[in-house]
Structure 1
Amino acid sequence: MLKPVKYLGQHFLNDKNIARKIAEAINPQLDDVIVEIGAGEGFLTEQFVGKVRKIFAVEVDKRAVDFLRVRFEDKVEVLHNDFLKLNLKMFESYGKIRLVGNIPYNITSSIIFKAIENRRLIKDLIIMVQLEVALRIVSQPGVKDYSILSVMCQAYSKPEILFRVSRNVFYPRPNVTSAVIRLDFERGERAERISDDVFFRRVVKLVFNKRRKILKNTLKEIFDEAILSQLEFDLTRRPEQLTVDEFIDLSNSLYNLAGKIKVNDL
């Protein structure tokens, strides 16, 4: 068994029943191309061998890379790389890929945002995250958990919590309860309504970074009063009160009025 490296945030899954449960939730098909983030010792990887068209295991730890290459030989293509630095266009010829993994929790948001940016190449993302992050992702307006992550995930995908996972199935044992989530990008119909992805992301981030302020007081720091007065939108509300669809409407309206000039200032 490999010794987990603390600075890499490694917590290896060591319960085959949980690995099987994750694989069952993923429901791999013969034509699927699986890209696993942080394969570790291959506990989850082995669940896909012989069941899908192709498996790529992306692993930054050279020890794990060597271990995986010996264990799976030509059944799995092991990529020694940092997933966050990987150009996902390398998988373009395979059609839409399925991203899976038990990931380091300190880079959860970065992985999710990378998947969102590359969503046209991805069928879905199924990963292990901290339970509190999972609850934030599916959170609805009006509660503390509702955040930038909630809006972005729900705008670009259909997110769901598949099941919770005890801390006892990892080595070393983490201090938090986990959950397996799925972001289904093929069911992210709201994304088609967004006028400009970069502008939308910046507006959502801008207002949530000052979530205690009403929208008007935050937006007037960037946009002229003349622009804001043209919005058919109640700007006396705070960001956590807006639905995802209202965020899209607000962003589109601002973009149509001033986005092409102001986007670099957000």
Structure 2
Amino acid sequence: MMHIPRKRFGQNFLRDHCVIREIVAAIGPRLSDRLLEIGPGEGVLTRELLQSGAHLDVIELDRDLVAALQQRFAGAGRLRIHAGDALKFDLRTIASEARLRVVGNLPYNISTPLLFRLFEQLDVIEDMHFMLQKEVVDRLCAGAGDDDYGRLSVMAALYCQAQHLFNVGPECFYPRPRVVSAVVRLVPHTVLPDAGLVKQVSAVVAAAFGQRRKTLRNALKGLLDESALARAGIDPRARAEELSLADYVGLSRQLHP
């Protein structure tokens, strides 16, 4: 019996096998890999990933789909199916000596909070390949001065390097979403930011982009004064979208000189 997509779970199932093969080629799974797929849905990508011979864990929230996956992949010894919410899942419970390679067609309604949940667990992640709304991928990959540059761009760059791989049209899904999708590769930095730095940068970025039409002199008022901007080498007349990640890190250092 065909599964009826549920809007509350943001379900849009990928049906184009050419795109599926393109995603797998981008991931390049190896026999020694520990893969984690978030939101396997009907298992079309799951099946291709298992062909690599790698060990695969999948996390699925929809219990009807969990039952279908258990039936479809019965006997697949390299597969473990977890019924649960990826937003609450602790990746360290399944990570072994090899770090996880995380993949998935992420529900668009939770993609940003899910990304930040994964950023908190990058110490057990080797890389990530996700299908997301193209608008989100554009923001993830944007640099200072780009039209799509914003809070997500800066915070993501603090954790990892983002690369836009290719776009995927609505016709490749069922049901068809109203937006274009894109596949992105995220590779964590060798040295990850500590919690204190993340908190400081987040505070500065939120204030700067919260009033992005204002100059930084005004947008950061109450958080950093003009002398702090000067110590960080930042022009107080500049606006949020003009500053690089390094600039924001420099500003955050001024919160506690």
TM over 0.5: yes
Aligned to 1:262: none
- Aligned-residue offset at 1:129: 0.8
Partner SS, residue 74 of structure 2: helix
Partner SS, residue 176 of structure 1: coil
Matches of 2:23 and 2:143, distance apart in 1: 25
- Aligned-residue offset at 1:195: 6.4
- Aligned-residue offset at 1:36: 0.6
Aligned to 1:6: 7
Which of 152, 157, 182 pairs up with 1:154? 157
Which of 171, 181, 186 pairs up with 2:184? 181
Contact 2:24 2:49 in 1 (8 A): yes
The question of 1:135 aligning with 2:135 is answered no
Partner SS, residue 146 of structure 1: coil
Q: Report 1:55-74 matches (<5 A).
A: 55-74=56-75
Q: Report 1:186-265 matches (<5 A).
A: 188=189, 191=192, 196-223=197-224, 227=228, 230-252=231-253, 254-257=254-257
Aligned to 1:109: 112
- Aligned-residue offset at 1:231: 4.2
Gap runs ≥5 in structure 2: none
Q: Deviations over 1:80-104 (max 9, x none)?
A: 0010011122123243101100111
Residues 103 and 94 of structure 1, relative CA distance in 2, 3 Å threshold: same
Contact 1:156 1:189 in 2 (8 A): no
- TM-score normalised to structure 2 length: 0.91
Contact 1:190 1:245 in 2 (8 A): no
- Aligned-residue offset at 1:247: 1.4
Q: Deviations over 1:164-189 (max 9, x none)?
A: 1111111001111111001111xx25
Gap runs ≥5 in structure 1: 258-266
Instruction: Judging by fraction of residues, say which structure has more helix.
Output: 1
- TM-score normalised to structure 1 length: 0.88
Aligned to 2:125: 122
Identity %: 36
The question of 1:15 aligning with 2:12 is answered no
Partner SS, residue 152 of structure 1: helix
Q: Deviations over 1:52-76 (max 9, x none)?
A: 4311110000010000011112422
Contact 2:232 2:250 in 1 (8 A): no
- Aligned-residue offset at 1:16: 1.8
Deviates most, 21-30 or 190-199: 190-199
C-alpha RMSD of the superposition: 2.1
Partner SS, residue 112 of structure 1: helix
Partner SS, residue 132 of structure 1: helix
Matches of 1:115 and 1:248, distance apart in 2: 21
- Aligned-residue offset at 1:112: 1.4
- Aligned-residue offset at 1:125: 1.2
Contact 2:33 2:98 in 1 (8 A): no
Aligned to 1:261: none
Residues 92 and 142 of structure 1, relative CA distance in 2, 3 Å threshold: same
Partner SS, residue 4 of structure 1: coil
